[in-house]
Amino acid sequence: MIHPTAVIETGAVVAEDVTVGPFSRIGKEAVIGKGVRIEAHTLIEGPVTLEENVRIFSFVTLGNGKAPVSVGANTFIREFCQIGNQSDSMSPLSIAPENFIMAYVQLFPGVRIGSGCVLTNAVTFEENARCEERVIVGGLTTVAKGCTIGTGVMVGGASNLKSDVPPFCLVEGNPATVKGLNIIGLRRRFDNAADIESIKQTFKKLYPEFVPSEADALEAVLKNPQAERFAAFIAEHHCRYAD
C-alpha cells in the first residue's frame, strides 16, 4: 500500500506488495524488494537497494543521492537513523541481512555491516568503518574512521573505539580497550567446547598487546579454525590495546 502523500519518482523499482507511509519520498534510482515496509517521513535518495522484508521506521534518511547503499533482507532500521547521507562521498555502504539497527544510528559512507549484528541507540560508524557478523555495539558508541570490528565482538555502551577489535572480544571505555573475551557470546555461538577452549588459549597467548608478528607465527601452528580466525585477524590488523 502506497500512501497518497508519499512520492515515488519515475524510475524507481518498487515491488507490488511494498508499503510506503505518509510523506515519504523514494528517489528514481531506488530498488525496493518484496515485503518491504517503509514508515512515514522516510527519505531515500540515489542508488539505494532494499532487499526482501526490510523494515524502515519513521524519519530515516537513506543515501546521499550518489553513493550506492544496500540493505540486506530482514533488516530492521529504527527511527531517525541516517544511513550514508553525511557527505558527498561515493564510497558504497552495505548492510548485510538479518540486522537490527536501533534509533538515531549514523552510518557514514563506506561503512560495511556484517549479518546478525545489533547496533543500539545513537551508535555512530564513521567513514569506512566496518564490522563482521554477529557483533553487538552498545548505545552512544562511536567507531572511528576505518576501524574494523571482528566477528562476535561485544562493545560496551558509550565507548570511543579508535582501533581494530579482534574477534570474540569484549571491549569498552573511552578510549576503548579490550577487557577479555565475550564468553557468553562464545557459549551461545559454539556447541563444540573445543572451539571455545582453543579461542581462550589463543587469546591468553596474544593478550594484551596483540602483536601481529606473534599472531602470524601462532596462526601457522593452530589446528582449530576459530582460533585460526582470531589469530589471522590480529596478524592482518593493528589492534593496539594495552591497559
CATH number, domain of 164, equals: 2.160.10.10
Question: For 72-86, what is the mean pLDDT?
Answer: 98
Residues 149 and 207 in one domain: no
Mean pLDDT of the chain: 96
How does pLDDT run across 140-189, given as a tens digit for each residue? 999 999 999 999 999 999 999 999 999 999 999 999 999 999 999 999 99
> Looking up cell 601481529, which residue turns up?
212
Tell me, yes or no, whether 112 and 225 share the same domain: no
- Asked if 153 contacts 135 with a C-beta cutoff of 8 angstroms, the reply is yes
Residues 110 and 86 in one domain: yes
| Domain of residue 218, residue span | 190-236
Q: How confident is the model at residue 197 (pLDDT cuts 50, 70, 90)?
A: very high
CB 69 within 8 A of CB 51: no
Q: For strands 93-95 and 69-71, give the pairing.
A: parallel
Whether residues 174 and 206 share a domain: the answer is no
For residues 116, 19, 16 and 28, what is the CA-based torsion angle, rounded to 10 degrees?
Answer: -90
Total domains, the chain: 2
- The whole-number pLDDT of residue 241 equals 60
**What is the structure's pLDDT at 240?**
72
Neighbours of 114 (CB within 10 A): 21
Asked whether residue 111 falls in the same domain as residue 222, the answer is no
Tens of pLDDT, residue by residue over 104-128, are: 999 999 999 999 999 999 999 999 9
Amino acid at 80: F
**Pair (61, 154) in one structural domain:** yes
211 & 123 share domain: no
DSSP 8-state secondary structure symbol assigned to residue 47: S
- For 89-103, write each residue's pLDDT tens digit: 999 999 999 999 999
* Alpha carbon of residue 221 to chain centroid: 31
Give residue 238's pLDDT band: very low, low, confident or very high (50, 70, 90). confident
Q: What are phi and psi of 18, to 5 degrees?
A: -75, 145
d(CA 192, CA 174) in angstroms, rounded, equals: 34
228: helix, strand or coil: helix
- Sheet containing strand 142-143, strands side by side: 7-8, 25-26, 43-44, 61-62, 82-83, 106-107, 124-125, 142-143, 160-161
pTM, rounded to two decimals: 0.96
